Structure 1
Amino acid sequence: MMTDEPRLDAKIIDYWGPVCDSGRHYPPHPGDTCDEADEWIRLRDQILADVMRQLWAQFTEPAMNRTRLAGTAFAAAAADPIPQPPDQPDVQRALDILGPHLAWDHRYRA
């Protein structure tokens, strides 16, 4: 059946090089039939598509979550946490422990 519609399933090989006996595959596939080569190509393309889909989801999901939460009460919780300074009692305790050692150093004498 001939139509004026362009064919979307046509493959164009725009380079010169050795092809298989049927002319369908570059490079040739000695020892395999064209159907086996087509199956391998289909499996390879499926694996590559799955990997790309997973990578895309891995890197875009955090950004999409932040975008969905922007302007809501949960946006601050989704942001990177702001590091808090240590509690003052912990700092004072550390200075109390180091006090006798620092007393010997002239830079720390009051």
Structure 2
Amino acid sequence: MTDDRPDVEVSRYWVHVCETGRHYPPHPGDTCDEIDQWIAHRDQFLKDFFARSFAQFEQASRNAQLAGTAFTAAVDTPIEPWPDGNPIRRALDILAPDLAWQSNYRP
């Protein structure tokens, strides 16, 4: 390469790698197959971590878009499941923020 372009200087660098040359840094005491398994496990962990983080970011973004609207109460206080399964109580709990504004409704 330097014969074609005398103004270009190629600098070589040297790093320590494992015996097979597959991994940097070297891994004394571990085989290359064990390191490959660890790398696959690490990559899957990071993939799941970033997927969860992105999903939380998307939810936070949606919540921020709803801020200041009629849906803010639903975002701030999510509805918990009803253990007794009473549909009338559930309907009243869902409507409680709206019914609180009505003078004839007292929970």
What TM-score results when the alignment is normalised by the length of structure 2?
0.47
**What is the TM-score with the length of structure 1 in the denominator?**
0.46
Which has the larger Rg?
A: 1
